[in-house]
Structure formats: C-alpha cells, structure tokens
Amino acid sequence: MELDTGATAWMLMSASLVLLMTPGLALFYGGMVRGKSVLNMMMMSFGALAVVGVIYVLWGWSMSYGADLGGIVGNPFDQFGLSGAIYDANGEFLIDDFGVPSIVGVGFQATFAIITVALISGAIADRAKFGTWMVFVAVWVTLCYFPMAHMVWGGGLLSGDGPFASIAAPIDFAGGTVVHINAGVAALVLALVVGKRKGFGSEPMRPHNLPLVMLGAALLWFGWFGFNGGSAFTADGFAGLAWVNTTVATAAAVLGWLVVEKLRDGSATSLGAASGVVAGLVAITPAAGSVSPVGSIAVGAIAGVLSAYAVGLKYKLGYDDSLDVVGVHLVSGLWGTVSIGFLATETGLFYGGGLNQLAVQAIIAVVAVVFSGVVTYLIAIALKAVMGWRVSEEAEVAGIDLAVHSETAYETIQQGSVAKEIRA
Amino acid sequence: MKLVTGVIQPHRLDDVKSALEAAGIRGMTVSEASGYGRQKGHTEVYRGAEYTVDLVPKVRVEVLVADEDAPTVVDVVVKAAQTGRIGDGKVWTTALDDVVRVRTGEHGDAAL
C-alpha cells in the first residue's frame, strides 16, 4: 500500500484531537466537583494520561491488535514495545490499508485507551486515594480495556470475524461498547465498591465552577471530531458523514436534555446543556458511520432525554456515581449501540433491514456489560483489600486536594512564609 | 465617631456608592457577604437535584463618619439601596472609641 499523505495528515490530526479530550474531560469533571477537590478530580484524568500513555506502547497495542488469543485478547508479547508494529522487514514504515503508517494508528488508538479510563474517574470524585486510582488505571486498562478493544476492533469475538457475524456484522464505529459501555459499567461498579461520599444525599454538593464545565464540554465536542471523524481511518466522505452525524446528534441531545429540564425542573440549565453535549456525543459514537444525518437527530434527541432522566437514578437507588458517568456514558452508550439496529441505513429495522442487526447490537452490548462488570469488580475488590480506596474521613471533609496533593486550587488570603525552596 | 454598616443587595452597590459620593462621603469599605433575613434562601437545580441555598450573596458597605453626619449617611444608604422588595437588607450604626489614619497617625475626627 502506498502512503496517502492526506489520510495520514488527518489521522495525525485526529489523534491530537482525541488526546485533547482528556484534559477537556478534566475541566468538565473539575468544574462539577466542589472547590476543595477540583485538583484531585483533574489529576485523575492527567494521571490516566500518564499511566496509559506509557503502557500503551509497551503491551497495550499488542494486547489490542496483536496475535489473537481465543478471540478475547491479543498476545501482549507479540508486539511488545511495538516490536514489528512500526517497520517492515526492509526497515520501511508499515503502511495500513488506508495508506496511513501503522505507527500513526498506534498513536490514534492510544488516545482512546487514555480517555476511556479517565471517564471512569467521575464516579469516585472527592474520596479516592490517588495511588489506588493510578494502580487501578494500569490494571483496568490492561485487563478490561485492551481485551474489549481486541474483541470489537481487533478481530475478536465481537468483531466482524466473530461468531455473531453470521447473524449480522456487529457495528461499533468509534467505541459505544469499547469506550462508553465499558467505562459506564466500570463507573457503576467502582461507585458501589468505593462507597458514597460523606454527606451524599444530605449535604449540597453543587458544581463549583460551571463555566469550567462548559469549557470542558466544548473541548470534548471539538476533540470528538477526531474520535468519530478519525474512526473512518482516512480523509473521505465517510469521515465527513461521521463529522456531520456527530454534530447533529449532539445538537439534538442538547435540545432533548433542555426540554426535559424545562418541563420537569422549570429551568433549562447550563449544566444540562453541557451534559446534553456529552450524552449526544456518546450515543452517536458507535453509530456515526452507519446512520444518516436525519437519523442522527433521533439518536441524539433520545440520548438527551434518556440521560436527563437517568442521572436521577442514583438518588433513587442509592449509589454515589458522583458525576453521573452511569447516567450519561452507560445509558447513552447502550442506546447508541442499540440505536444502530433501528437506524442503520443499510441494515436497520426502520430501513427494512429486519431484526438481525438489532439482535447483534443487543448481544454485543450485553457482552460488554457483563465482561466489564465482572472484570472491574474483581479488580476493584482486590485493590480495596490490598491498598484501600478511601482517603480518611478527615481528609475527605477538609478537602482531598490539600490532603493528597498538598495544593489548593484557589487562593484566599495567603499567610505564612517560605519553609524550603529547591534550587537546581 | 460612628461606623455606618449596610448589608445590601449586591446590585444596589453602584447606586449606594454614587449617592454617598454625591453626599460628600470620601471613603468606604466594601466586602462580599452572605446571609439571609426574612427573605430566606433560594432554590438551585443541578442535573435535576434541587438544593436550597440558605445564604444568599450580599454586599457589606462600611463608612466611618463624624457623629453629626451619621443620620444623613444612614438616610442616603437606605434610600439608595431600597427596592421595596424583601431582601433589601439592613443598615445600622455603631459608636467608635477611636479611629487612626495609618499614613499620618492622626486620631479621632482628624482621621476621618
């Protein structure tokens, strides 16, 4: 395959856009917590960036796209350290089927692994030990994310090469199962294992900085053009379709969320608009390559409405998914994955495609839920036993930023003097 | 000497400041405050969760005046801060033993 410089440029750009989503998520989540824990919240995203960024080139790529082991996972030693993943036998860069060097694909895929783990952190805001989180990131991305990526995208059980493909080829364009259902289920499990924040349900825990949340939502949306547009793997009409679908679904989801708020709560809120943005982006992620722009309106609007209602479940059911990773990512991720069965223009039920696609989409969604649920639970209770998840009650109440990071986000009146300076 | 303190609606601050300037008052201290009286708090909604916010934002205005000016200054602040709605705040005076101008060390009325 000859090098396609246009496609390569777009994929490098897309990878950069997706990487930007993780700092964007840090802002989105950071604004939603209280002022005493914003730095810890943002550090969980930056921590995920650091850990997964290193792991991905060591065994992440190989476990996702290396030699298949039972349809579940790639062999971590097949291309450990990217051996054999960059150059061919003649020392030339390997080029993929789209004319893009394989090393660009490695970078693109690494950014997906990073954001997926970071998404989970919103469920355990204000209370988790940073060290336990960092170890969780490494273990979870290895045992849960890489296998899921392999199963869906790397030729495994849930891909077009798997056993379900005889019914219909499963469709997960950019990560409804791998990213959002996976992270959403993990978030629910962690919220249950880690437990509620002190004062959950009795003390007000209002977002301390909504402009930060809006800024984060804007960066997520912008980055998502790489997430979905880049998942076409080249710069073509398919990428353009994904771009338009991404925007239309997101716009419709904002409308859906705001209508629910206006009717139910009396006011359309900025937090609702920012949340609608993310719900729409999540829902269209698996579907961006297979539905029409008009179909995207339905995908987005329904996602906005579903998630606007789903964020209230935690109060009814009593789990403290602090920043609604379940209500937004799991619920809209499930809907987006299943929506393909109705709205895919080639195989969807509403386009005369029958029930096969819908059945397959439901199957991959359920497998993703079960796999992520079981694996995350085992990791979470193991870490609870070995390291413990919670900071002390005193640290949580006084503020985790100061207790864990020795920093505070906002200056009040500065007192004291310099105790020690390090001069290089 | 008296300290006139007003806790008022934040959006009335500009009018109070202009009115005091027009009345010849040359200085004041303003700070952000929170509180409630008969107005009580308000309700905020975040992702469908309603919070009752008891303490609402207020502005505290403090003016140092000579004894004879105090009634006028109180009057000026009250007039400028008034909207007639619940939550307009309160103004009160406190008697002072002494006031010192930091720059010169002057005491009493000379420091005003």
Residue A411 has a pLDDT of: 77
Residue B51 has a pLDDT of: 87
The region of weakest confidence among A358-367, A413-422, B37-46, B97-106 is: A413-422
Residue A413 has a pLDDT of: 62
- In this complex, is the C-beta atom of A352 within 8 Å of any C-beta atom belonging to chain B? no
Contact between chains at B48 and A308 (C-beta distance less than 8 A): yes
Residue A270 has a pLDDT of: 98
Q: Check whether A64 has a pLDDT greater than 90.
A: yes
In angstroms, what CA-CA distances link A76 with A142, A147, B80?
10, 11, 74
Chain A segment 163-192 residues within 8 A of B by beta carbon are: none
Which residue shows structure tokens 């009593």? A318
- The partner residue sitting opposite B45, judged by closest CB among A269, A315, A324, is A269
- In this complex, is the C-beta atom of A312 within 8 Å of any C-beta atom belonging to chain B? yes
Residue A204 has a pLDDT of: 83
Confidence of residue A111 (pLDDT cuts 50, 70, 90): very high
- In this complex, is the C-beta atom of B55 within 8 Å of any C-beta atom belonging to chain A? no
Q: What angle do CA A24, A224, A136 make, to 5 degrees?
A: 55
> How many Cβ pairs closer than 8 A exist between chain A and B?
31
Residue A210 has a pLDDT of: 98
Residue B52 has a pLDDT of: 85
What whole-number distance in Å separates Cα of residue A187 and Cα of residue A124? 8
Asked if residues A99 and A234 have their Cβ atoms less than 8 Å apart, the reply is yes
The mean predicted confidence, pLDDT, of chain A is: 96
Q: What percent of chain A has pLDDT over 70?
A: 99
Residue A421 has a pLDDT of: 80
pTM over 0.80: yes
Confidence of residue A344 (pLDDT cuts 50, 70, 90): very high
Asked if residues A126 and A40 have their Cβ atoms less than 8 Å apart, the reply is yes
Contact between chains at A269 and B53 (C-beta distance less than 8 A): no
Express each pLDDT in A286-335 by its tens digit.
999 999 999 999 999 999 999 999 999 999 999 999 999 999 999 999 99
Contact between chains at B49 and A315 (C-beta distance less than 8 A): yes
- How far does the CA of residue A368 sit from the closest CA of chain B (Å)? 27
Residue A126 backbone class (left: φ over 0; alpha: ψ -120 to 50; beta: rest): left
Express each pLDDT in A220-269 by its tens digit.
999 999 999 999 999 999 999 999 999 999 999 999 999 999 999 999 99
Residue A203 has a pLDDT of: 86
Chain B segment 27-46 residues within 8 A of A by beta carbon are: 44-46
Contact between chains at B45 and A311 (C-beta distance less than 8 A): no
Collect all residues of chain B within an 8 Å Cβ-Cβ radius of residue A272: 47
**Phi, psi at B93, each rounded to 5°:** -120, 150
Sign of CA dihedral A320, A323, A328, A334: negative
Residue A415 has a pLDDT of: 64
Q: Check whether A1 has a pLDDT greater than 70.
A: yes
**What domains appear along chain B, each with residue ranges and CATH number?**
2-111 (3.30.70.120)
Q: B111 versus A11: which is more confidently predicted?
A: A11
Element (H, E) at B53: strand B49-53
- ipTM (interface pTM): 0.83
Buried-state track A73-97, b at ≥16 Cβ within 10 A, e below 16: bbebebbbebeebbeeeeeeebbbe
Mean pLDDT by 10 residues, chain B (112 residues): 96 95 93 86 88 89 95 96 93 96 94 88
Residues 6+ apart with CB under 8 A from A237: none
Collect all residues of chain A within an 8 Å Cβ-Cβ radius of residue B51: 204, 206
Residue A414 has a pLDDT of: 62
Q: Check whether A403 has a pLDDT greater than 70.
A: yes
Asked if residues B109 and B70 have their Cβ atoms less than 8 Å apart, the reply is no
